[in-house]
Structure 1
Amino acid sequence: MLSGVLFALAAGLMWGLVFVAPVMLPNCPPALLTTGRYLAFGLIALPLALMDRRALRELTPADWWEAAKLSAIGNFLYYLTLSAAIQRAGAPLPTMIIGTLPVVIAVCANHRNRMRDGHLPWAKLAPSLALIAAGLALVNRDELAHLQAGNGDLRRYAEGALLAIAAVACWTWYPIRNADWLRAHADRSPRAWATAQGLVTGPMALVGLLAVGAVHLAAPGTLVPSGYAFPLGAQPLAFVGLMLAIGLLSSWLGTLCWNEASQRLPTSLSGQLIVFETLAALAYAFAWNQRMPPPATIAGVLLLIAGVMWALRIKPVKQV
């Protein structure tokens, strides 16, 4: 349990780095940040595959197909729907919907995997979920205020809401299916499984980058702003360095740590531990902007931590 929580914490610290990348490269379009990150992930996975070549050779065609599905849905489709949601509705609404992930995953996994992982009694789980939900609401208080103001086009907000719900569905599906494979293959290396996902992600990212380039040539300004120095931008060294850092730390190491956690923890619990990603992203953002978080955010963080600590005290009840 302790090692699983620590691995989930490490994964959250790695994944939180992704949220400051757009701030560090404010002029880089989301399509290039996404394809750049996963192309770097694929390139980094190539030398890492040498270390795990024996374990990778043991993967069956069905395993590789599962890795491809996880990468396509958990990486590309998730970021595609999230980016489209933000384009249509702005950041506030999608942020609030995506913020429900820890609760949604925990609820889905607690019902779906009760025979394998044991059932976390709903009466004991409810206070944890309530604390996490309240913490997310406080952390996103500014976003709630924006929504209550009723700003924006109603139709675009509705489209953005549907796309954000699709993003939640993608990343609810990913950790549950990923945990299914890892728990069914407890003798396999979580590191090799992370590398396998990188190997199948690289070609997808390359195809995506070529598609973005084709759209940029055919319809300038659609996905990439007019005048943008495609594909590396005005700061090529900063772009390449940041993509490599995120590809190594967020994509490969983050996935590795999450795989380790998924082998050790019930999925209903590990789903709640995704709040570590939210906490890390907040900490990095405030550090980058060199300012202290407001009292409401601090209170929200404390509630998130309290919710996680409450959940860790719950022992699964085996189903017969």
Structure 2
Amino acid sequence: MTLAILCSGQGRQHREMFALTGDAPEAAHLFAHAATLLGGKDPRDFVGTEPDEALHRNRAGQILCTVQALAAAAALGDAIPCGVIIAGYSVGEIAAWSIGGLFDATVALDLVVRRAEAMDAATRAGDGLIFVRGLRREELDRLCERYDAAIAIVNPGDAFVIGGGREALDGIAAEARAMHAARIVVLPVEVASHTRRLAGASAVFREVLGSVPVVFPPRTGGRILSGIDAAPVVSLESGLDKLAAQISHTVQWADCLQACVEAGATGFLELGPGHALSAMVAGIDTGLSARSLDDFRSMQGVRGWIAHHLGA
């Protein structure tokens, strides 16, 4: 089996998200560093004691999701083979670069803070995201043009995330209901991620990326995919350009999953939080093996699953 590692984005943070990684000694330094970015509060305590809305604020959410992926990778260690395929959903792309060996893990955590701060500075009051399933891309493109919104993420199976101002999103949701969309959900995100409304944030973040140490080519030999076009990162400068542009450009996640399959991936491990990405894999091909860290009761179980499938 060729393994693909999927790094989750915001939206599925929960109280038990560090159940498997929280006690891993290999991840202790990551939780300690993340605490310095969360006002001195350890992420493991943060998810257990802060109100739900705090877990989903843009800056905190990006830190929590990134430290989860990095802690999982650290705990798994050499159970993750060299040469894996790695893709990150939204902020998960920063974690993907780190797991692939391009960024140091603490640098990645610092970067998501700068990313979140740039996004917050460019955000207008009321901006957000909604999820719509069951309408064609052309139909949603027309609605977005009418309401000055944009498709932020393209997921498999006619499933889309749309970003814009609150009035625009409310209008699109109402029309989508009238068009018999299968599902419409207001997402717990307070920025219009991956839309042109954040073009200024992309520019700011590109400058930040130009000043951080990067190892290229990646020391793990991994195949890291860019979210905006599903292409592997084969050039440092163009890769950094795309990583910054992703903040204000549509994430082509359906294409990323297809690119994993075309590169030979037959097993997918989502590092979480949540099961959203692994569920999407099952949706594109029921013959693929896809699990999330949240499916397991121990890191030993995760290692066993990886070893079993790599040996199959």
| TM-score (norm. length: structure 1) | 0.31
- Structure number with larger C-alpha Rg: 1
Larger helix percent: 1
Larger strand percent: 2
